[in-house]
Structure 1
Amino acid sequence: MFTLFRRDPIKKQRKRYDALLEQAMYAQRNGDIKTYSNLTAEAEALWAEIETLSKAPR
């Protein structure tokens, strides 16, 4: 009944994923490839978590 007021964890994770990719893009543009690689790897791990959350029954 009160699922209307519950926050969606996937939406929060997706917003964080988008922010990580944006930070990685700016790091790459500035020539900081090491930071770009770290942020991209973190974003990929987060995407795997998002996929498992989206496949789980609610």
Structure 2
Amino acid sequence: MFGFLKPNPAKKLRKAYDSKLEQAMHAQRNGDMRLYADLTEQSEQIWQQLTELEKANAK
């Protein structure tokens, strides 16, 4: 009945993923390629977690 009050972990991961990509974009524009690579790697890890979560919820 009150399912809308439960936190959505997928939404939280999506927000973190978008934030990391934006940080990576700014690092790339500033010419910091090492930071860009690190942030991109972190965003890829978050994406993997998100896809695993969505697969688990689909079952």
TM-score higher than 0.5 here? yes
- The corresponding residue for 2:6 is 6
2:33 is aligned with what amino acid?
I
Shift of 1:22: 0.2
Question: Which 5+ residue runs of structure 2 have no aligned equivalent?
Answer: none
Give the total of aligned pairs.
58
Q: TM-score, normalised by structure 1?
A: 0.92
RMSD of aligned alpha carbons: 1.2
Question: Which 5+ residue runs of structure 1 have no aligned equivalent?
Answer: none
Q: TM-score, normalised by structure 2?
A: 0.91
- Structure 1 segments (4+ residues) deviating >4 Å: none
